[in-house]
Structure 1
């Protein structure tokens, strides 16, 4: 593992300490868990955006008529 050191606001440090105490986990464990979840979520979102841009560049998009037909099928109004 690579060590990191950075300042955090006092209120966050207090919340982290309280959560560590209440859950029986170390502060390091909680920070690593939060970072892991954040990185997974952000990576997923970036990959979805990249996939969408590839589809757009390939011309794989719905026409206005196709979108309107789907709205009508679902009982919504496109206007």
Structure 2
């Protein structure tokens, strides 16, 4: 396991300490979990963006009917 120093604002450190206490875990454990989750979320999002760009470069876009079907789920008829 690698150790390194990260500088964070004082209020974030206080919140981290409070959360660690509530979870009965160390500050280091909670910070490591937060970093792991951030990395996983960012990697997923970037992979989705890259896949979308590949589709766009191929010209693989949603049809007008597909777009309307999605929009109709969220718009109430008046």
Same fold (TM over 0.5): yes
Computed over aligned residues only, the root mean square deviation of the Cα atoms, in angstroms, reads 2.6
Deviation track 1:14-66 (CA, whole Å, cap 9, x = no partner) reads: 12122222211011110011111111111100000000011111111124465
In structure 2, the residue matched to 1:38 is: 38
Q: How much has 1:6 moved relative to structure 2?
A: 2.2
Larger radius of gyration between Structure 1 and Structure 2: 1
Farther off after superposition, 42-51 or 18-27: 18-27
Q: Which structure would you say has the larger RCO, counting Cα contacts within 8 Å and 6 or more residues apart?
A: 2
**Structure 2 residue aligned with 1:15:** 15
- In structure 2, the gaps of 5 or more residues are none
Correspondence for 1:27: 27
Structure 1 residues not aligned, in runs of 5+: none
